[in-house]
Structure formats: C-alpha cells, structure tokens
Amino acid sequence: DLQSSVFVFPQESPTAHVQVTARLEQPLSNFTVCLRSYTDLTRPHSLFSYATKKQSNEILLFKPKPDQYEFHVGGKLLVFRVPQRLEESEHVCASWESATGIVGFWFNGKPWPRKGLQKGYTVGVPASILLGQDQDSFGGSFDARQSFVGEISSVYMWDTGISASGVTMAMYDSPEQTPVFGWRNFPYKIVGEVYLKP
C-alpha cells in the first residue's frame, strides 16, 4: 500500500522510470487514468505512457507546457488548458469511452468541458505501462528532454468511466470502484534513479 508515499524522479534522465507490472488481459473499450504530479518543469514531460507493439502512444498523459495537458488515445490527441500553478501538486483524471469517443478530463477535482476522440477505437493489449518517460517504441526509445522530474503519486487505472464523486475519492486514495491497478495495491518495478519516499 503506497498511500502516503510518492515516487521521486530526482533529475532529467534518458532511462529512469517506473514500470507498472500489472497485466491487462482484455483490450479496453473504456478506461480512466488518474494521477497526482508535483513538478516545477516548464519543458515538455511525460506522466503516464501506455504503449503496445502497434502503437507507442496507445494512451499517453503528457504535459507540453505548464498550462496544458495532452491526452492521447491510439496516437490521436486532445489538448486541455489548465491554470498554471507551479507551487502545488496537480491531480488529473482522464476518461475515454469507445462507443461515443467522449473524453472526460478533471483537473484538481473539477471537470473540464468534454471533448471527443477516436470513436469506435479499441485500446490494445499487451501493454507496456510506464511513469515518467514517453515511450516511442514498446518499452523504450526514451528522450531525456521529455523525462519527468519531480513527484508522482496516487496513480490509478480503471477499465470503466468515472463519476465526479469517483474522481474526488481517487484524489484521497479511497477509490469507489476497484481499479485495474491503483495506489493502495500498486504493482511496480523501478528502473534507474527513482525513489519511493514518504
């Protein structure tokens, strides 16, 4: 249980990341990803990267600038503009459903206007799921200039959508629904210089 812990990524790196070792058995027609990050980076950086052999940006949560998040599904992306806050952590959730393509995005518990992406698409398995690096190939091809520096915690993934109350519960590490993987029962392997700290 990592409830009161964070992963610290101390410096820019071409290799350091956290590998999520959960095995997804079924392709995804719905999913939600939530996490908390704390950084003073102003350059582009990757938070959550889910790659398959066919598509390196199957799911990607990426921050090109302090006031923007990119959310990728199947190699296509949407941009969400957010307030710039360099002195506090940021909690984000992003959900997607294949039937409509509708994407939900929540920033610090507040819902942003919904948008659409990749209607009818299916997210593939098996997947390589990483925190802190952007995979340009399955499990690798990292760029140090897109590496994360700072703290990541409260990482969750569901194979369903999420409600507004579900987002709030995830922010406080007491999720309503059982996740595919989550912070209270998080399967991980550290590669390179990343530290688990209270």
* Residue 40 lies inside a defined structural domain of this protein: yes
Q: What is the CATH number of the domain that holds 133?
A: 2.60.120.200
* Residue 138 lies inside a defined structural domain of this protein: yes
Q: Cα separation of 166 and 181, whole Å?
A: 15
- Band of pLDDT at residue 26, cut at 50, 70 and 90: very high
pLDDT digits (tens, 9 = 90+) for 66-100: 999 999 999 999 999 999 876 899 999 999 999 99
* Residue 1 lies inside a defined structural domain of this protein: no
Q: Is the peptide bond before 175 cis (omega within 30 degrees of 0)?
A: no
Q: Cα separation of 74 and 111, whole Å?
A: 23
Over residues 34-51, the mean pLDDT reads 97
Q: Cα separation of 54 and 40, whole Å?
A: 33
Model pLDDT, residue 19:
98
Q: How many CB atoms lie within 10 A of CB 28?
A: 24
* Residue 188 lies inside a defined structural domain of this protein: yes
List of residues 6+ apart from 12 with CB closer than 8 A: 144, 145, 147, 149
Model pLDDT, residue 105:
98
Q: Is 169 helix (H, G, I), strand (E, B) or coil?
A: helix
- Band of pLDDT at residue 55, cut at 50, 70 and 90: very high
Question: Which residues form the domain of 155?
Answer: 6-197
- Is 38:151 a contact under the CB 8 Å cutoff? yes
**What does the block give as tokens for 79?**
């941009």
Q: How many domains does the chain have?
A: 1
* Residue 82 lies inside a defined structural domain of this protein: yes
Amino acid symbol at 79: V
Model pLDDT, residue 87:
81
Q: Give the distance from CA 69 to its chain's centroid.
A: 11
Of 43, 33, 57, 52, nearest in space to 12 by CA: 43
φ and ψ at 165, to 5 degrees? -70, -35
pLDDT at residue 2 above 90?
yes
* Residue 17 lies inside a defined structural domain of this protein: yes
Model pLDDT, residue 85:
78
Residue showing tokens 């959730």:
93
* Residue 141 lies inside a defined structural domain of this protein: yes
Characterize 115-125 residue by residue with b for buried, 16 or more Cβ atoms within 10 angstroms of its Cβ, and e for exposed.
Answer: eebbeebebbe
